């Protein structure tokens, strides 16, 4: 049995949440904002459940872009998580952010945030250039248009980044429903933020209880 080295598990990667801020969210049009917020909650919650090293970074938080999404704050409160605020659009060019990401010692980096074509493309291409494996959670990234998001995703994929979805990220970490230590938390997260899949889990749990 061979388990692909490309699969993510809780201890082999760093999650970087980039600029999930209100001002950045106002202009997002490639994805419904409610769906984006739910997907953000899924990945933030997943990383918390599985104790994944997670960096939350913002840009001009107090002067322009505003506070982070409540879905990020819930799982990574600023008071205890210490967001890294930047002036650079490219997270990789900000020394504190760069050091926080690279000092985790993980060779796989998972990125999500706003906007795809600027604040995700920059660190993705730079991390790839330094030999990191880069994963992009496509449905937890937003941009000013579908065209901007799609072209950015294509550019990163052509450079070697691996695209994935928010629920895929969560389930790749869970991997086995017999993993009881995280089962309850994972299914509870899905019931809250997993859309139709979450309703299905709620239904199944309710029906099996009778």
Q: Is the CATH number of domain 13-177 3.40.50.970?
A: no
**What would the pLDDT profile of 17-30 be if each residue is shown by its tens digit?**
999 999 999 999 99
**What would the pLDDT profile of 122-148 be if each residue is shown by its tens digit?**
999 999 999 999 999 999 999 999 999
**What would the pLDDT profile of 52-108 be if each residue is shown by its tens digit?**
999 999 997 778 888 999 999 999 999 888 999 999 999 999 999 999 999 999 999
Mean pLDDT of the chain: 96
Q: Tell me how far apart the alpha carbons of residues 111 and 108 are, in angstroms, rounded to a whole number.
A: 10
pLDDT value for 190: 97
Question: What are the extents of the domains in the chain?
Answer: 13-177
| Contacts (Cβ under 8 Å, ≥6 apart) of 192 | 41, 198
Average pLDDT over residues 114-128: 98
The angle subtended at Cα 96 by Cα 90 and Cα 98, nearest 5°, is 55
Neighbours of 20 (CB within 10 A): 27
């Amino acid at each position: 049995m061979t388990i692909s080295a490309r699969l993510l598990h809780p201890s082999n990667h760093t999650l970087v949440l980039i600029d999930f801020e209100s001002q950045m969210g106002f202009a997002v049009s490639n994805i419904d904002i409610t769906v984006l917020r739910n997907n953000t909650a899924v990945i933030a919650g997943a990383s918390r459940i599985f104790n994944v090293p997670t960096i939350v970074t913002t840009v001009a938080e107090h002067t322009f872009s505003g506070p982070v999404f409540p879905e990020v704050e819930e799982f990574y409160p600023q008071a205890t998580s210490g967001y890294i605020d930047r002036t650079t659009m490219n997270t990789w060019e900000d020394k504190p952010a760069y050091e926080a990401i690279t000092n985790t010692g993980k060779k796989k980096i998972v990125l999500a945030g706003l906007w795809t074509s600027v604040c995700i493309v920059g660190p993705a291409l730079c991390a790839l250039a330094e030999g990191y494996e880069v994963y992009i959670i496509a449905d937890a990234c937003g941009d000013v248009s579908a065209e901007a998001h799609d072209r950015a995703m294509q550019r990163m994929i052509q450079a070697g980044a691996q695209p994935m979805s928010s629920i895929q990220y969560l389930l790749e970490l869970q991997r086995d429903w017999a993993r009881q230590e995280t089962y309850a938390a994972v299914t509870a997260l899905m019931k809250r933020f997993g859309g139709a899949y979450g309703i299905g889990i709620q239904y199944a749990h309710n029906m099996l209880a009778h």
